[in-house]
Amino acid sequence: MDSSMKAKRRRILDDIRRICSVQVSLSANGERIQFNPCYFEPLSPQIIRNHPITDPEWDQVRPLNYYSEEDSEEDTEEDTEEDMEEDTEDSGSESSDDIARGSSIDIRDIDRAEIITEHLYGHLDASSREGLLPFHQTLWDFSPFERGPTDKGRWRKDLYLHNDCMETSWRTSGVLEDTSYVFPHAVFYMHQDIRADNHGNLTICELKAIMRVMRIRISLKEYRQHLVLPVLILSFMGPQHGRIIQAHHDGDNMIIQRSQLFEIRDEETAPVELFLRYYLSQPVGLFTATLCVR
């Protein structure tokens, strides 16, 4: 290995060592993730609890169990030739719902991840909430952010915020920012075609998404006055799991704090409220040389 290649490898290793990834715990009441420092204040849980959905016929939410656990187990196994023949014979008796959902072999982990965000969006879009009008129409009205320049699509030499070409695909979406540029914070979600492991380690897909969103935002002249550009990520993966990540660069190191992995499949136990509240976070923390918001 020549000297230039060795020097390049050393620089890469130095950069990797500056990435600090830690798992942080929930508060005792389970309503907050104990980020430190913390740049995102989640929406008060009382806002969601005090304004329940009231329309008994409301069906905008895609159920979390849209794909069954049996499908999840089958996804990891290859069909035998005999199984494929049986599927072909039975195809004529499939219901329209079966066809809409697709056979188990067609269900990828990224499809399951997308079910979670469809479910969350159903809650965000619901207008039939008790006592919400006239000041607010939906939960979206509680967010201080909207889709801004990062979510604009790809301009010039901007990095792609997705990767559909590799075996493990991922994509980001729903990047919310302050379009007045007073606040440097951003919130977004991402889907990964990858399965959660038992260790809860940061995935390469998550790291790429964080770095690319930060790279695009730091290049915008409107953010040059800010010392820190923190991001909050709702990260979803297979078999149907998610976590919340806060990332920022402190001038020396990339600090990535991640919650535990949550299973988001059972309507009764899934922490839907927690993810909704963090997606609608308020910006907090020191972010310019002279201004601090609490």
Kindly give the pairing relationship between strand 262-263 and strand 40-41: unpaired
pLDDT of residue 112: 86
Q: How far apart are CA 146 and CA 135, in angstroms?
A: 18
For residue 243, give the nearest of 261, 226, 229, 227 by alpha carbon. Answer: 261
For the segment 190-219, what is each residue's pLDDT rounded down to a tens digit?
999 888 887 888 998 899 889 888 888 887
pLDDT exceeds cutoff 90 at 247: yes
For residue 193, give the nearest of 263, 92, 107, 256 by alpha carbon. Answer: 107
Span 270-275, average pLDDT: 95
Q: Is 242 helix (H, G, I), strand (E, B) or coil?
A: strand
Please, what is the Cα angle at 167 between 231 and 86, to 5 degrees?
Answer: 125
pLDDT of residue 149: 67
Contacts of 27 (CB under 8 A, 6+ apart): 33, 34
For the segment 16-68, what is each residue's pLDDT rounded down to a tens digit?
667 889 999 999 999 999 999 999 999 999 999 988 888 766 666 778 888 76
pLDDT exceeds cutoff 80 at 117: yes
Span 264-276, average pLDDT: 93
pLDDT exceeds cutoff 90 at 1: no
Give the predicted TM-score (pTM) of the model: 0.77
Matching residue, tokens 């919310």? 176
What is the average pLDDT value for the chain, to the nearest integer?
77
For the segment 158-172, what is each residue's pLDDT rounded down to a tens digit?
445 555 555 567 788
pLDDT exceeds cutoff 70 at 150: no
pLDDT of residue 104: 47
pLDDT of residue 288: 47
Partners of residue 285 on adjacent β-strands: 293
pLDDT exceeds cutoff 60 at 176: yes
Contacts of 69 (CB under 8 A, 6+ apart): 265
How much is the CA Rg of the chain, to the nearest whole Å? 21
Distances (CA, A) of 231 to 85, 155, 279: 49, 21, 11
pLDDT exceeds cutoff 60 at 71: no
- CB count within 10 Å of CB 68 equals 13
pLDDT of residue 88: 42
